[in-house]
Amino acid sequence: MNPRNLLGFFVFFIICSHSLVSSENITLEFPFFTPQDFTLLGDSTLRSGAVRLTRELRLPSSSSGSVIYNYPIAFFNPETNVTASFSTRFSFSVDNINPSSYGDGLAFFLSPNNRRLGSPGGYLGLVNSSKLTQNRFIAIEFDTRQNLGFNDPDDNHVGLDIDSLVSFKTANPILQAINLKSGNVISAWVDYLNEKRKVEVFLSYSSFKPENPLFTVDIDLSDYLKEFMFVGFSASTEGSTELHYIKNWSFQTLGFRPVRPRTHPHNVSDNSVPLKPATPSADPRNRHHKRIALGLWISFPAFFCVVVLVIGWVSVKKWRSMQTGMSSEAELVTGPRQFSYKQLKSATEGFRQSRVLGHGAFGTVYKAFFVDLGMVSAVKRSKHTHEGKAEFLAELSIIACLRHKNLVQLQGWCAEKGELLLVYEFMPNGSLDKVLYKAENGNPLKWAYRYNIAVGLASALTYLHLECEQQVIHRDIKSSNIMLDGSYNARLGDFGLARLMDHGKSPVTTLTAGTVGYLAPEYLQCGKATEKTDVFSYGVVLLELASGRKPIERDAERQKTVNLVDWVWRLYSEGNILAAADKRMNGEFEEAEMKKLLLVGLSCANPDSVERPSMRKVFQILNNEAEPSVVPRVKPSLSFSNSVPLSIDEIVSDWEDCGTPESQLEIRVGSAV
């Protein structure tokens, strides 16, 4: 038996042994939640023993969060073909600082995996909107918003969901004088009786279980309860300030037969007193057997360690013998999966033109359908040139190790047939620039979405600049690189120009790269990218969100270009900053929030990089956790040396002469470093 098969045998043996032990009835009691026993996903947080599943903001936002018990629970014993019954009790509350801004609700779920964090909004954090055919769960939903797309009967109901948010059965707890949105603590009981093939749900404002269930469903869950399942809670909002709390939780399984003892010398009743076992005689054969058993117990771990060392040595030797290029790529992609070129070609129908989502400096982006995986993705394709490969590896090495809810998730990669391809999570609403400037049916992007995008993007940049093990400077923050998911949450993407660096070290680069209108003055001057250059670009995006105008626009009447930062600053100096608000919104926005967004945008776009706030400070300001920075009435001016290789005026002049749209104009000029 070769070493790999031998290791596989031992792993299989261990798993089987664990299964035999684990197929027993369990009882869990958690009067409060502890970080040692639970995993928090998305926006969920743990405070004072209770879990808050959605983000706490004073303004409407989109949020999604889950809490999952760390250890899988046995629900089916394949040896006895027995499916367990289960019973759970938990207390929750749905609160809101703005009672008119409700939605969407929470759910208790059982899932075959422990990574369940779905989309915000009506998906209740259970369902991923881009992977609708992959959802596997059993859930009891507590829905606080009517979603006709899921056949919801009203905005205050409880339902049983299996692999879909279209409920098998629902009931309105108002019939028992219970309002899910009351803010009061509500106790819930969910019982599944496998022998009767029945699910019962009870609700009460007290801690005493009522006699009559809210509803009963006759259903056999044995087809859905796998051998092991994870248990947890999820919740979500969309354009709402609703908060969802889980206070405590208990759970037990029933129905598994107790494990039989290996020896049973006498047919003794359960009430009898166990006899003291006789002392074994000093038989030489017994001593021999003991020596053999002791030898086996000692040799087995030693043999196992030797096998692991041999496999490790063989693996290292094989890794060292690989080609340098392939080994470099393998190191970079320990997280995302490797797709074959054939898979990507099939998923995009041969990279058909009708599947094109957009074009960028890196290459073309296609919409891909992976039928076998039940997944919709975006595939970024680039020709295998020297420069293209460098950007490919840069983006891959950075994205692969980043995890944040406001970053586009990298799902996989491919480097075959002289081409480089990246597979990303598909964003149903495309990029911010298309949504902002090409409003469907003449309806502009709502203000609540715009503000939430600003907050989400600030959170992502705070993570990149301050919370990563190594600081990431994006260098190309712009509206076309900000993607929007199904609930219009911001997802920052396109890390092809990013640079990874250790915190506290001076950034060094020999290229100025980016897009006109978003570039900080000092970046054009010397080509050194810092976190403050990202802050400048972010400030321009904020002004775009507030005004609905592009960073550089052509004024048809005056026959000249207008810089967005200059235009907003002029209105601010005239004491009329709200005149910069997007006219298409017809005044449907919060004036205080609009003013704050415009002022934060100006403070970030300050020509003097020293005066720009950090992204953490920006995030705190937008969340009302810090006072806004003071913005000078007159835009500060900076003087540059004559060593600048190309001025911004020259760049814009060249752009006008060639007629290139500013959204596509990207510059790369040698720096003076």
Positions annotated as catalytic residues are 476
Phi, psi of 612 (to 5 degrees): -75, 140
Answer whether 128's CB lies under 8 Å from 111's CB: no
| Integer-rounded Cα radius of gyration of the chain | 30
Name the one residue in this structure whose structure tokens are 């958690």.
Answer: 30
Which residues, including other chains, have CB under 8 Å from residue 482's CB and lie 6 or more apart? 431, 432, 433, 453, 457, 490, 491, 492, 493, 541
Name the one residue in this structure whose structure tokens are 């070129």.
Answer: 341
Annotation-wise, does 380 bind a ligand?
yes
Could you tell me the CA-to-CA distances from 54 to 137, 246, 446, 617 in Å, in that order? 20, 11, 21, 22
Cβ atoms < 10 Å from Cβ of 237: 33
Angle at 14 between CA 12 and CA 18, to 5 degrees: 115
Cβ atoms < 10 Å from Cβ of 482: 28
First to last CA, the chain: 60
Could you tell me the CA-to-CA distances from 515 to 64, 129, 137, 302, 386 in Å, in that order? 33, 32, 44, 60, 22
Determine how β-strand 337-338 pairs with β-strand 410-416: parallel
Name the one residue in this structure whose structure tokens are 């002289």.
Answer: 418
Burial (CB count within 10 angstroms: exposed 0-12, middle 13-18, buried 19+), residue 266? exposed
Which residues, including other chains, have CB under 8 Å from residue 321's CB and lie 6 or more apart? none
Could you tell me the CA-to-CA distances from 17 to 22, 101, 667 in Å, in that order? 9, 51, 61
The full DSSP string for 381-436 is: EEE--HHHHHHHHHHHHHHTT---TTBPPEEEEEEETTEEEEEEE--TT-BHHHHH
Question: What is the amino acid identity at position 37?
Answer: D
Q: At what angle do helices 447-462 and 615-622 cross, to 10 degrees?
A: 150
Residues paired with residue 190 on neighbouring β-strands, in sequence order: 88, 201
Cβ atoms < 10 Å from Cβ of 625: 9
Binding-site residues for ATP, in ranges, read 380
Binding-site residues, in ranges, read 380
